Amino acid sequence: MRVIAGSFRGRTLEAPPGDTTRPITDRVKETLFNVLGHRLALPGQLPGVDTLDLFSGSGSLGIEALSRGARSCTFVERDPEALRCLRHNLRQLALAECCTVLAADAWRLRLPNPTIPFGLIFVDPPYRDTQDTRRLGDLLVHLAANLAPDGLIVFRCPERAAALPAADLGPLRTVDERTVGRMRLVFLARPQ
C-alpha cells in the first residue's frame, strides 16, 4: 500500500497483516481523489480542509488527503494492530503535528460540534456493517452536524450493498456515486 499523489507520493504505508482491515486499492483511491479534485476544481489536490477518517485502519485515506493538501486529519480506529500501523505511518511521514488519533469505536463515537467543522469525512466501515442501512444512516446523520457547509462525506461499501434510503440520510443528499470493481463510492453533501 502506498500514497499515490501529492507531497508523499510513492511512500509506502504499513498495513496490518490478515483481514482485519480492507486496504483500498490504488485504482479506487485514484477514482475517489479524482472525483474530489473535480468537485473542488483542484485536479489532484485538496484545499486546506480538516479531515475526519472513520474506520481508518492504517490511515491510507486520511494520509492521502494530507499528501494532497488537507490541513489536518482526525483518525478513528479501534483495532490495536491497525492503530499500531497507523501511528507508525504518521511517525514515518512526520505528520503527528497535524493529526489526532482516537482509539475508539466509530459507531459509538459522538463528536461534539467542532468550532471548525470537517470539510471532508471518510466513512469506510467493515463491509459486514454496511448491511444495516438504518445504523449507517444514524451515523451519517450524526456526522452531518460536524460537516462544513460545503463539505463532503465519502462512504465506501461493496458494490452490491443496499442503497442508502434518502429518508435515512436526514440533511444529506447523494451528490455522486461511482462503482470501481467490487466497491462503490458514495459522495454525500448537504444541499446548498
Residue 2 lies in a domain: no
* Predicted model pTM: 0.94
Residues 72-94: pLDDT tens digits? 999 999 999 999 999 999 999 99
- Structural domain total, the chain: 2
The residue range of the domain holding 184 is 130-192
Q: Cα-Cα-Cα-Cα dihedral of 35, 156, 181, 29, to 10°?
A: 50
Q: What are the tens digits of pLDDT across the range 132-172? A: 888 888 999 999 999 999 999 999 998 888 788 787 888 99
Question: Residue 97 domain-assigned?
Answer: yes
Residue 185 placed within a domain: yes
In whole numbers, what is the pLDDT of the chain averaged over residues?
90
**Cβ neighbours around 153 below 10 Å, total:** 26
Which CATH number covers residue 85?
3.40.50.150
146 located within any domain = yes
Tell whether 95 and 135 lie within a shared domain.
no
* Residue that finishes a domain, picked among 68, 90, 105: 105
Q: Mark which of 70, 89, 105 sits at the end of a domain.
A: 105
The dihedral over CA atoms of 37, 133, 190, 145, expressed in degrees to the nearest 10, equals -110
Within a domain: 36: no
